[in-house]
Each structure stands twice: as C-alpha cells, then as structure tokens.
Amino acid sequence: MTVSTNPTGMTAPDSDLYPSRVGDRTLLLPRRDPTVYADPAAKPPIPKDQVDFYEENGYLFLESFFSEQELTAMRAELQRLREECRGSTRDEVILEPDGDDVRSIFAVHRDSELYRQYSRHPRLLAIVEHLLGSEVYIHQSRINFKPGFTGKDFYWHSDFETWHVEDGMPRMRALSCSIWLDDNYTYNGPVMVVPGSHKTYVSCAGETPEENYKTSLRKQIYGVPDRESLTSLVDRHGIETPIGPAGSILLFDCNVMHGSNGNMSPKPRSNVFLVYNSVENRLVEPFSGRKPRPGYIAER
C-alpha cells in the first residue's frame, strides 16, 4: 500500500453539504457521510470490535503501537527539530499566543525523512486505508509541543469544520493519528474527546477573515462551537480522556469534537500529528470563498 503524496486539481464546490460561518448562530446538523468506508466484505487489519468502536465513538486508542526503538528515534527527531526551530521565523513554525515558545511545527512529513517514513508505516497505513476505504495522502502533519508548566490549551473544535471551510475538504473522509511521544496522564493536558460527537456537524457562527490561519494556528477564534452547543453535545455523549504510555496512538475521525487543557504539571506532553485524507476526497476551492491556506497546512 502506498500514500499518494500530492493529489492535484481543484474545482469549485457544486454545493455545500456542511455550511458553516455563514450566519449569526450555531447549528447542529446531522452527519451525511459514513464513518467507516471499508467494504463490509474486507477483512480488517485490527479486530472487528475495534473497528466497530471507532465507528460508534469516532476515535480509537491503540496502546504501545510503536516499539521502544521506534519511539526513541522519533523522540530524538522531535528534540532536533525543536532546537532547530527555536527562534525561527519560518511560516511552518507556530509560536504560543503569548510568547516565543514553539507551539507547533507543521509539514514534518515533508521536511523530516524520519517522520515521512513513519507516516507510511505499513501497520498504520493498513488501518487508516481500511477505515477510509481507499488509498490516502497526508493532508497535514505537525508536531504539537506541550511542555511541563507552560504548555497551553487547544480549545474545543472539530477539525473538519476548518478543513471544509478554509481548505475545501468536501466530505468527512479523513482522520487524524496522534502519535504520543510522552506518557499521557490525566494531568498533563491530554486530548479529550466527546465520543459520538462525530455524528453531528457543528455549523459555527461568524465569517472567516482573510488569511485567518495566521492567527488561528496560535489561538483559534473562528470555527469553534458556542457554549450552548458544546454543552448539548457533552450532555448527550460525555467526555472521555484516553491516557497511556508513550508510543501509543490515538486515531480520531475528522469531525469528532476534541480539545485539551493547558499543562500545569511538570510532565511534558508532545505528539506527532498526522492527518490522512482519502484520495477520493481531494480538496476543492475553500467553501469560505477565501484563498486556500498554504500547502504546509493543507496539502493539495
């Protein structure tokens, strides 16, 4: 199995199945796409009950997916990139909203040979391609840093809302893989998910500013749910916080509501974040009517 690295060709959207940022109030709309696209007759590369769990809850936690040797190599590469990017003015390097600490480094599958290799890991690709029912390519990749004491939060959001509005991703046929390079505890800012929320699309209020990504990657303001909608989803589904050792992975659907608290603990929490999109779901013109975000955020 291979990853197609650069699907080409953009077209204008015929119709918007998932409108957002087009009014002054938030709407909760039903999902109009499957969660698992695999042929029912295809044998899954993981136990069927795990596929069913992903379909029902919108996420799947696989503990200790990578070996200690693989984890050591990825950690070393993370430290190398962090030192290399300290004080950098490259567009791919995102700083914290209230300081000069590195928050994220984008396009690591493009700029790091090691992470490029792990983005094509055969066991990982087999799972991703089964869930999405096709070959895939990397829509976006990044390292998220959350150091002890100072790591900042990532507010509640659905990734698909932004990828649809600002990047032109037509349908919900993408998923994210978070590779944990540190142990995730309840107290060091792990990802929280609202299980089952992937079945509801949160159409957000407001309008997308030009070049919104220049500020949203540091702190997202547009495309986040209002408190009433978030409360409704949590009352219906609850919140779950997968925790476990470094080397584990968290797979989650593009539309699941998720976020993470700041890290007040001494324990760091960094991860490699890979977004896989189906080659049958290539990007069109952004549904916001704005210019597409640059390739290091949304690969075309």
> Which residues are within 8 A (CB) of 139 and not within 5 positions of it... i.e. 6 or more apart?
163, 167, 169, 174, 275, 276, 277, 283, 298, 299
Q: Identify whether the C-beta of residue 174 lies closer than 8 Å to the C-beta of residue 281.
A: yes
Phi-psi region of 75 (alpha: psi -120 to 50; beta: other; left: phi over 0): alpha
The 3-state DSSP composition of the chain as helix, strand, coil percent (nearest 5) reads 25, 20, 50
Looking at residue 129, what DSSP letter applies? H
pLDDT level of residue 213 (50, 70, 90 thresholds)? low
pLDDT given for residue 198 in this prediction? 98
pLDDT level of residue 150 (50, 70, 90 thresholds)? confident
**Domains in the chain: ranges and CATH:** 53-281 (2.60.120.620)
Kindly state the average pLDDT of the residues 22-41.
Answer: 94
pLDDT given for residue 220 in this prediction? 66
Q: How far apart are CA 202 and CA 205, in angstroms?
A: 9
Burial 8-27 (b: 16+ CB within 10 A, else e): eeeeeeeeebbbbbbeeebe
Q: How far apart are CA 72 and CA 30, in angstroms?
A: 42
pTM (2 d.p.)? 0.91
Q: How far apart are CA 61 and CA 144, in angstroms?
A: 18
pLDDT given for residue 229 in this prediction? 95
Residue type, 230: L
Between 175 and 8, name the one with better pLDDT.
175
Kindly state the average pLDDT of the residues 89-113.
Answer: 88
Q: How far apart are CA 208 and CA 22, in angstroms?
A: 9
Q: Identify whether the C-beta of residue 179 lies closer than 8 Å to the C-beta of residue 118.
A: yes
Kindly state the average pLDDT of the residues 3-32.
Answer: 73
Q: Would you say residue 296 has pLDDT above 70?
A: yes
Q: How far apart are CA 177 and CA 141, in angstroms?
A: 10
